[in-house]
Amino acid sequence: MINRFLIYNLFFSFIFSVFFYGKINGQPVPSLEENIDFLVTFSRDASATWGDDDHIQIHFLAIPKDYKGNVFISIFDPDIGGKYDQLNGSKFDSFTKFSLYGGEGAYSNEDARNINPKGNYNSGIQLGSKKFGVSTIYDDQWFTFGPINPKEGEFDKALNAYVFKIIAEGLKGNDGNMYRYYISSSDLEFNPIEGMNCFTYEMSFRLKNIKNTVAHFYPFLDSNIIAIKQHNYDYDSEGQIRLTTVIKKSHQMSRSGDGNWATSTHEITPDEQNTTIDIQIISSGKFPNDMVFYLTNQYGKFVPFYSVPIGGVPKYRYKVDIIYAF
Amino acid sequence: MFNFSVKSHKNNYCSFLIIIFLASIFSSPVRAQQYDFNYFESEVFPQKYIYDITRDSQGLLYFATENGLVKFDGLLFESVTKNEGLAENLVNKIYIDTDNNIWIGHYQKGISLITKNKIKKTFTGNIKNTRITSFVEDDKHNILVSTDYNGVFLVDTNLNVTQIYNDNSYKINALFTLENKLLIGTSNGLIVVNKFNEAESADAIHHFFNDTNIISFINDTIRNNLWVITANNGINKCNIISNNIDFNNYQSFVTNLQLSSACIGPDNNIWLGSKGKGLFTVYIKENQLDKLIHYGIQNGLKIKYVKSLFFDLENNLWIGSYGNGISQYLHQEYSLFGKNYFNSEIEITAIATSNNNVYAATKSLIYFIDSTLTVKKIPVQIKNKITSLYIHDNTLWIGTIKGVFKLTQNLKINKIDFFQNDYINSIKGNEKDKLYFATNNGLVIYNNNKFVRKTTNEGMLHNSIKALLPESKSKLWVGTMQSPLFLVKNGQFSNSYPIQNINDIYINDLVKDSFGNIWLATYGYGIFKLGKNSSQQFTTENGLPSNYCYAIYIDKNNKVWSGYQSGISYKKQKDENFNSLQYDQQFLSSKINLQTIKGTKNGNIFFGTEKGLIIYQPNKIKNIETDLKPEIISLKVNSNPINLSISTTLSYSKNYIFSIDFRVINFTNQKSILYKYRLKNYENLWHLANYNERSVNYSGLKPGTYTFQLLASNNNEFDNHNLAYYTFTIKPPLWKTNWFIISLITLITFILILIIRIREKNLATNQIRLEEQLKIRTNELLIHKNLIELKNQELTDSIQYAQKIQDAILHKNRISDFFPNSFIYFKPRDIVSGDFYWAAQIDNEIIIAAVDCTGHGVPGALMSIIGLTFLNEIIKIQKITDPKTILTLLDKKTIEILSFKGERLSKDGMDIALINYNMKTKKLIFSGANSPMVLIRDNKINRIKGTLLGIGDSFIKKFNNNELNILKGDKIYIYSDGYKDQFGFIADKKLKNSGFMKILIKASTHKMNEQGHFLSEEFIKWRGKNEQTDDVLVIGIEF
């Protein structure tokens, strides 16, 4: 049965995607692969049940060491108000601050990689900061930090990249700010920075409001991980949360309800070590749903997930040989 | 834009201009001026992020980059990084204090301090993990440092660090001090801390400019203002009154710009760098914004994000970008209007000027450029290629390759039929009423609305008229392609002027200077300057790039500008030769078109080139120091650097290699620099080196003091006042040092003295010994002497006794017994004599002999006894009286007695002169054995020789007799050779026969008994102080 509403939404999503992604070769965060339209940060007076447990969102941008050009970090619709943001109350009255950090400690500091914003999470050298309140200036527009010298990031040997940290912090108010990032090498057009990746340890996001659309998270499991524990918050039991790896297909993960956490632990076999796994969160499409997700390993350490899956999207390896006869 | 306060006749120009302007604003868009920026290739300067720029007192530039501190002297970039000791490679801020120490603020690792080219110290501590954003020096030479979010620190002269302000609410971007006030520019306004340098009473009391992001301060000492530069609220001018800044009343400008950097230019205008929009210059006049110039991609600046701005000592602007490296804005006085402005047709073929406005023509289009250099295209198009333009009487006259057009006030183009298809080379007019057209078909004069053509038919020298120079109302100088320069007066040919005997000069352009000299640009002969009574030619030997000159112009300073295929050349009034423009801007080498150098009243000069219009704006010339200061930057001895602040003395070595690096800090035209150097005391000649030959090596230097001397020039003239030099000394080897030599000499002297003393001592000892020996010997000698004397006395006594015997014998032979008139001069040499005389009478025959026995003294005396004895035996006993027989027997007996068994025991003998006088017959018979007889008769002397051999010679000989009759008065002399063999004292030779004869003749004049005495006196006189040579015997007889 043809669902007109679905078609309508698909069509506009397509248009939306084309508008935002078609001509855009930049690197959006969240990425196309993640299939998440917006990151969300609620101002600190908002209840956590709105889908943001801590009113802070931290993302890391890894710029390859060999990259010599400029870095521009654009924020789509950073101000409060407009058609995307979540009104809480009778009118918009909130503020969000976006801050960019580089330098030593921006990434390597333990507090920065904690999902809870405490301690020295804003470590490093602040390269820029901008507070947005209620305005229409940036509705459907971008605010850009840059140009940024890649060497102002913190060099991480393991990543072989200069890492920047961007913190979105809800300040006064209770509205929800919907936004996304774009990383580009140019201020005039969105040119991708080859080899660049973005990762976070906890994401507050809005699921696409289309039934059965799948949001993905792509954590990379190193060789030390033998088990993972997923944590999701305020999923409202919408649909399914599944795990797919190279040897697991659509394993079910626990789902949270409204304003609570759900966790589930999953064993990781050697075959799955050093691979990217795919955690899929299916939307029911009933209402705009904001939620939080993060992942820990067997030691309780936070596992980052990447906008660009390392090694690509995992492909489940069937155990039975399939021969296609044409 | 337009000057309305002009003289009446120029109001017409203005009206014309207004119409043109109004018409053109609806036509093509206004094109702005292009600017020329110099960019550095990434191979030369790879750094892309320039956070800060400054310079030291010498003018050396310093760039703060993501890859360390980079120094630049105009030619070479030199990096100082972590490898050399910096705390971090990323440098965010640089400051050079009054002691020339370099403070380097890092991104996260604090501060590095460079003192005397060495990294002295790095500061971390509180300053670490926070970005250094600003440095400032207070009047006590403390350095104040601001950090991002960690407050402000004070580093005192002992390098102790204290925090004087601590508030991390806002980001701190800039600091400024005024006496005891500290101004802190933050991301949320200005904080003023009073008495900041008095720790106990420092307090932050005021906040100003809330909600503005202050990025820097500029102290405008000319206007006595402080400019507060903000990122989001423009630039704000605050007055400084008595060292107090009025922050309550300020003026804001350009508040719409997003700024990132600012500085004040040499022209006292504010230069602003923006985030994303390039560069701006703000001109403030009487507290009003007079002008804002934008430099962006549209007019030459490729940099959008300007991070830092700085003017060097030569007033070039350096633009540090964020992501696009460094750019230099130099030679603002030259700029090009090129293709971004003229679209498809960019070659400028004609220019005309009117006051401060310019008309420039491309092939078919005409542009109007006003005094602000804003360009508008005039909405007309000419079919034929435009060759000349001229404004006259509200009309723009347009000369083309086929005729003349007029552009009137209502923008109507009219072709002038008179010209038909004439090729127009030039259009000129005088101030009043005449226009002149130089065509290929003669000279056309326009006067009183009439055109009149003058060709060779009307007396012109040539029909192809190239250049014109109206001199007065009626005079016109005319240059053609093949004739001398000539003058047209009142429309008629007047005079021609061959130039330096060249009759067919191809004249491209004519102009006159303020002294009345006419300047010609010629095709193939360079440039001529014609005075009233003189002419001067300038060719490539005088600096012209070519002898083919297409355009010439003289500005109000009498500077001559000329155009060639290879660009522009100029000559200042005081210069002897021309100079080519030698800047890096390539467009300055563009081909200059015919007669396309023109100037406006404000001093701007316009050049029509194949690449567009070049504009020279002298008001943009910077007051730069033209002195080039050469600098010796390092001297290494075997790769070890030497401290150049003091002279160096090196110990002796033959193996030193000296490497000397030098430079001139110059950012305007490094490539024109020439160096001249030498090492004095090693070489006399100067070496020349190009701009990029900045090092020299010397090796094999002998001990001595050397001075490396260096000069630099950018116009082939070296100014000795700017001599850089360094002196060093190589010590001589030990054995050549003064002290060594002196010591050696002293030692040698000492040794010599010692030797001498020892010798003297030895000599003295020897002397004493010798003296003793001498004494002994002397005593011995005395004894021997006494003995000898005794013996001698005995001998002498014997000899004297023998003399007595001889005298006794001789006494018996007195000749005077036989001849009363006679004498015997007998003088023995010694005590006894070898000479003797003998006389005897036998019957009537008297026999007299003068005998000279060999030898004298005792041996001669003994022989004389033998002779006497034999003569007695032969004559007295054997009664033989014949002289020759006597001699024969005497000879025989002498030989016998001196031989033994046939062997001669002695070779002695005697010479004898023997006479026999017969008293009865009066005949005299003479026979001589090696002894003559002299007869003087009637005062005539006759010498009769005897036999040459003497008695006793071993040869068999035969003696002969010489007979002669004796007359009365005859005088005969017989003698031995003693008298004649005597050496004279004065003459120092023997008397000889000749001398003796003379004396005899003289003697013969005396009485016979006086002649002996006479002969004695003469002998003594002749002999003088000489010793007597031999025994002397002379017998004289007068008959």
List beta partners, residue A294.
Answer: A202, A231
- C-beta atoms surrounding A30 within 10 Å: 22
Full 3-state SS string of B291-347: EEEEECHHHCCCCCEEEEEEECCCCCEEEEEECCCEEEECCCCEEEECHHHHCCCCC
The terminus-to-terminus CA distance of chain A in angstroms comes to 31
> d(Cα B373, Cα A183) in Å, to the nearest integer?
42
How far B116 CA sits from the closest chain A CA (Å)? 29
Token readout for B884 is 């020759």
Contact call for A152 and B129, based on CB within 8 A: no
Lookup: tokens for A114: 């904690």
What per-residue string of b and e applies to B999-1023 under the rule 16 or more CB within 10 Å gives b? bbeebbeeebeebbebbeebbeebb
Cα B350 versus chain centre, distance:
51
Distance between CA atoms of residues B294 and B280, nearest Å: 5
One-letter amino acid for residue B163 of the chain:
Q
Q: Which parts of chain B sit beneath pLDDT 50? A: 1-15, 19, 21-29, 623-625
* Burial call B149-164: b when 16+ CB within 10 Å, e when fewer: bbbbbbbeeeeebeeb
Q: How would DSSP label each residue in B956-971?
A: ------EEEE--TT-E
Assess A105–B contact: CB distance below 8 Å, yes or no: yes
CB-nearest to B108 from A103, A129, A149 is: A103
Cα nearest neighbour of B67 on chain A: A151
| Number of helices (H), then strands (E), in chain B | 7, 77
A104 in B contact zone (CB under 8 Å): yes
The partner residue sitting opposite B305, judged by closest CB among A103, A104, A147, is: A147
DSSP one-letter string for B445-485: EEETTEEEEE-GGGT-S-S-EEEEEE-SSSEEEEEESSS-E
Instruction: State which H helix or E strand residue B871 sits in.
Output: helix B857-871
CATH of A4-207, one of 3.40.50.620, 1.20.120.420, 3.40.50.300, 2.60.120.380: 2.60.120.380
- Does A108 contact B at CB distance below 8 Å? no
Instruction: Considering only the beta carbons, identify the residue of B131, B276, B322 that sits closest to A125.
Output: B131
> Judged by CB atoms within 8 Å, which residues 164-193 of A form the interface with B?
187
Cβ contact (<8 Å) for B148 and A68? no
> Where does B806-949 show beta strands of DSSP type E?
822-827, 835-842, 845-853, 899-900, 903-904, 910-918, 923-929, 933-937, 940-944
Q: Which of A103, A105, A147 sits opposite B107 (nearest CB)?
A: A103
- CA gap B902, B28 in Å, rounded: 162
CA distance A154 to A161: 8
Least trusted range by pLDDT, from A93-102, A112-121, B734-743: B734-743
pLDDT at A3 (0 to 100): 54
C-alpha of A242 from chain center: 17
CB B662 within 8 A of CB B677: yes
* Rounded Cα distance, A285 and B986, in Å: 166
Q: Which residues contact A315 (CB under 8 A, 6 or more apart)?
A: A246
Among A152, A164, A185, A186, the strongest candidate for a mutation testing the B interface, having the largest count of B CBs within 10 A, is A152
B305 chain-A contacts, CB cut-off 8 A: 147
**Domains, chain B, with CATH or none:** 48-129 (2.40.10), 337-620 (2.130.10.10), 630-736 (2.60.40.10), 813-1038 (3.60.40.10)
Whether residue A11 is predicted with pLDDT greater than 50 in this model: the reply is no
Burial B644-653 (b: 16+ CB within 10 A, else e): eeeeeebeee
pLDDT at residue A10 is higher than 60? no
CB pairs under 8 A between A and B: 39
Look up the CATH number of domain A214-306. 2.60.120
Residue of chain B with shortest Cα separation from A69: B323
**Candidates B108, B304, B323; nearest CB to A125:** B108
Answer yes or no: do A151 and B90 touch at CB < 8 A. yes
Tell me if B322 and A149 make a contact (CB, 8 A cut-off): yes
Residue B260 CA to residue B265 CA, distance in Å, equals 16
Q: Which chain B residues are closer than 8 Å to A151 by Cβ?
A: 49, 66, 89-90
At A135, list the tokens: 């305005």
- B328 burial (CB, 10 Å; 0-12 / 13-18 / 19+) is buried
| B130:A125 CB<8 A | yes
Q: Write down the mean pLDDT value for chain B.
A: 87
> How distant is the Cα of A132 from the closest Cα of chain B, in angstroms?
14
How far is it, in rounded angstroms, from Cα A105 to Cα B131? 13
Considering only CB atoms, A152 lies closest to which of B90, B149, B304, namely B90
Closest CA to A68 of B277, B307, B81, B66: B66
- Beta-carbon separation of A103 and B129 below 8 A: yes
**Which pair of tokens denotes residue B9?**
């006749």
The Cα–Cα gap between A265 and A252 comes to: 11
- List, as ranges, residues 54-73 from A with C-beta within 8 Å of B: 68-70
Residues of B with CB under 8 A from a CB of A: 48-49, 66, 89-90, 107-108, 129-131, 148-149, 171, 276, 304-305, 322-323
Do B49 and A149 count as a contact with CB atoms less than 8 A apart? yes
Residues A161, A64: contact at Cβ < 8 Å? yes
Contact check, Cβ <8 Å, B48/A126: no
Euclidean distance between CA atoms B353 and B336, whole angstroms: 17
Using DSSP, state whether B535 is helix, strand or coil: strand
Three-state SS letters, B203-272: EEEEEECCCCCEEEEEEECCCCEEEEEECCCCEEEEEEECCEEEEEEEEEECCCCCEEEEEECCCCCEEE
Could you tell me if residue B835 is left (phi over 0), alpha (psi between -120 and 50 degrees) or otherwise beta?
Answer: beta
Distance from CA of A45 to the nearest CA of B (A): 22
Interaxial angle between packed helices B1008-1023 and B992-1004, expressed in degrees from 0 to 180 and rounded to the nearest 10: 140
Q: Per-residue DSSP letters for A4-16? A: HHHHHHHHHHHHH
Q: Does A153 touch chain B (CB under 8 A)?
A: no
Q: How far is CA B393 from CA B17, B275, B935, in A?
A: 12, 50, 152
Contacts of A152 in chain B (CB under 8 A): 66, 90, 107
State both tokens at B359: 């008309």
Picking from A63, A66, A70 by the largest number of B CB atoms within 10 A of its own CB, the best residue to mutate is A70
CA distance B107 to chain A (A): 8
Cβ(B677)–Cβ(B590) below 8 Å: no
Q: Coil, strand, or helix at residue B780?
A: helix
Q: Is A133 on the interface with B (CB under 8 A)?
A: no
The answer to whether residue A182 scores a pLDDT higher than 50 is yes
Q: Which of B66, B107, B323 sits opposite A125 (nearest CB)?
A: B107
- Greatest alpha-carbon pair distance for chain B in Å reads 186
Burial of B896 (0-12, 13-18, 19+ CB in 10 A): exposed
Cβ contact (<8 Å) for B323 and A149? yes
B-chain CB neighbours of A105 within 8 Å are: 129
Contact B964, B956 (CB under 8 A): no
Whole-angstrom distance, CA of residue B171 vs CA of residue B150: 8
Q: Are B508 and B525 in contact (CB under 8 A)?
A: no
Structure tokens at B957: 């000989």
Q: Mean pLDDT over residues A301-305, rounded? A: 94
Q: Where in chain A is the domain with CATH 2.60.120.380?
A: 4-207
